[in-house]
Copies of this chain bind each other. A is one copy, B any other.
Amino acid sequence: MCRLLFTFGFILSSVLSFSQSEDSVFIRKIADEILVNGKAYSNLHELTKTVGGRLSGSPGMYKAEAWGMKTLKDMGADKVWLQECMVPHWVRGGKDEAKLILPGNKETPLDVIALGNSVGTGSKGVTARAILINNKAELEQRKDELKGKIVFYNYKFNPRFIQTFYSYGDAVIYRELGASWAAKYGALAMITRSMTHSVDNIPHTGSLDYIDSLAKIPAAAIGLWDADKLAKAISDNKEVKVFLRTNAKMLPDTLGHNVIGELTGSEFPGEYITVGGHLDSWDPAEGAHDDGAGCVHAIEVLRALKAIGYKPRHTIRVVLFANEENGLRGGTKYAEEAKAKNEKHIFGLESDAGGFTPRGFSIGLPEDKLEKIRKEWLPLLENYGVYQFVKGGGGADVGPLKELLGTPVSELIPDSQRYFDYHHTRNDVLANVNKRELELGCINMAALIYLVDKYGL
């Protein structure tokens, strides 16, 4: 493209009413503040480069909490505090290693990462015959062959889903429960193909859930090239062995915190709108998209509204939730305490799908209310890239607000295509976040919070 020979832009799909036109001007002010004076990207720079990985219980968690307190104060919160909650304390314990061993002891290293919450193999590792299992049905058919083996799940991300979260929802059960399924039939360890559409070989971690009644066996993930290589080796030659050494262990629960900052409501200070992301992140990288982006999105909503002089009617609370990744203790604690204090929560918005260009919001409302906000609010957001309100839940952390208090909850829907390239890998770093895509998320979230504060739901 050499020059501007075309004219294109976002549509302004309908003529705006008077109040819509007033809102349109206000949202333009929000957008200008974020695009011209925005702090989301520099805040994310600081979080990723001075704190880095911040898994529950790790030293990074405490650094991140201190960063959150300071940043919320600096960005203009009227009040900032920590809410205690006990969190799991899983540690990787050292470098994960794996090798593919062909007959004659011909070894090839596999790029591997232990799954979160998994147990380690012990210092000698596990060496055993590998069995290729393509899906759950095959596991059940071949259950008598599993004893003493390392089960390798090669279930693939389905490319047919347009929204990659559906591919994830379809495949992630192998990461979550695959170890226990294999342990049930006597397997020694489990290795899974990573949950990704990526074109690289980088392995993806993420939490597993052991089924209590079954043996806890070590579990890890390998990248796509290695998964294809291992699958081929097993298919070509039944005698393939795998060596796996992981050093992980679960320590006793430890004290963590939700970090909370608020703009106090001018009319209804005891009625709350929550906007947040989760502060914890997996250890291999900086947690830039997951969920540094969500944290700085939420902080920027507060900063921008304050900076342009908006006095919210309700109290707007930014919550940087603890322990989403391997326990959800922060989100649960926040809702439990809200319920115990009999707080009125009118809305909960989360960003936990990355800092990519926004396309919409998922929102838990009855169809008639959904239609109403589609008609009245979408024309205000379309210029900033949001063109859909989809019926659905909020993110994981605001889920308990809905369950315990019945609060309507919502989540930002960014473009999903690149999310699972970086998710839970060493590539989830700032360099893979685009400043303007991040800012557009902030704009739409701030606009939605403003509309909910002004009109309710």
Chain A residues with a Cβ under 8 A of chain B: 1-11, 31-32, 35-36, 41, 159-160, 162-166, 168-169, 172, 176, 197, 199, 206-207, 290-291, 324-326, 328, 352-353, 357, 359-360, 362, 383-385, 387-388, 390, 392-396, 399, 411, 413, 415, 417-418, 421, 423, 434-437, 440
A198 to chain B: closest residue by CB: B435
A-B contact pairs, 24 of them (CB 8 A): A1-B353, A1-B395, A1-B396, A1-B423, A2-B206, A2-B328, A3-B172, A3-B207, A4-B165, A4-B172, A5-B399, A6-B165, A8-B165, A8-B411, A9-B162, A9-B163, A9-B166, A10-B163, A35-B160, A36-B160, A197-B435, A359-B385, A387-B387, A421-B434
Q: From residue A358, how far is it (CB to closest CB) to chain B in Å? A: 10
Q: From residue A68, how far is it (CB to closest CB) to chain B in Å? A: 19
Residues of B within 8 A of A159 (CB): 35-36, 436
A429 to B362, CA, bound (A): 34
Residues of B within 8 A of A436 (CB): 159, 164, 197, 417
Contact status A415-B357, CB under 8 Å: yes
Most B CB contacts (10 A, CB to CB) among A9, A11, A352, A411 go to: A9
Contact status B160-A31, CB under 8 Å: yes
Contacts A8-B163, A383-B162; A2 near B324 (Cβ below 8 A): yes
Contact status B440-A417, CB under 8 Å: yes
A160 to B160, CA, bound (A): 36
Residues of B within 8 A of A5 (CB): 393, 395-396, 399
Counting every copy of the chain, the complex holds: 2
Contact status B31-A394, CB under 8 Å: no
Residues of B within 8 A of A166 (CB): 9
Q: From residue A383, how far is it (CB to closest CB) to chain B in Å? A: 6
10 nearest interchain CB pairs?
A4-B169, A8-B362, A6-B393, A35-B159, A8-B392, A7-B392, A5-B396, A417-B436, A1-B352, A8-B390
A325 to chain B: closest residue by CB: B2
Contact status A7-B324, CB under 8 Å: no
Q: From residue A362, how far is it (CB to closest CB) to chain B in Å? A: 4
Contacts A417-B357, A434-B418; A6 near B362 (Cβ below 8 A): yes
A383 to chain B: closest residue by CB: B162
Known: A1-B352, A3-B176, A162-B440. 5 other contacts (CB 8 A): A3-B207, A8-B411, A10-B162, A31-B160, A159-B436
Contacts A162-B10, A396-B3; A434 near B411 (Cβ below 8 A): no
Residues of B within 8 A of A423 (CB): 1
Residues of B within 8 A of A1 (CB): 290-291, 324, 352-353, 395-396, 423
Q: From residue A112, how far is it (CB to closest CB) to chain B in Å? A: 20
Residues of B within 8 A of A388 (CB): 10-11, 387
Residues of B within 8 A of A169 (CB): 4, 7
A168 to B324, CA, bound (A): 40
A3 to B169, CA, bound (A): 7
